[in-house]
Amino acid sequence: MSLVVELFWSSDFVLTFFTGYYREGFLVMERCKVARHYAKTWMLFDFTLILIDWSVDVLDLLTQGSSFTQVF
């Protein structure tokens, strides 16, 4: 289930570059402006959370066979 959640949020991260935003009551859909706006607002936060999620899953996969996880 965690893989489904990670794939959802990873795809949402990409799709955000194609989603417009409102500025002074007008919808802005220019990709360059949308990307710049996203980079200035939520991009770093979103990327950090996605990176943490993927890192935890990869580390979990790498340590599944180790003797440390079998003890607990």
pLDDT tens by residue, the chain, 72 residues: 788 999 999 999 999 999 999 999 999 999 999 999 999 999 999 999 999 999 999 998 898 866 554 544
pTM score over 0.85: no
d(CA 5, CA 53): 9
pLDDT at residue number 56: 93
pLDDT at residue number 64: 86
Amino acid sitting at position 10: S
Residues 6+ apart with CB under 8 A from 9: 46, 49, 50, 53
pLDDT at residue number 66: 61
Cβ atoms 71, 30 nearer than 8 A = no
If you search the block for the tokens 């200035």, which residue do you land on?
A: 40
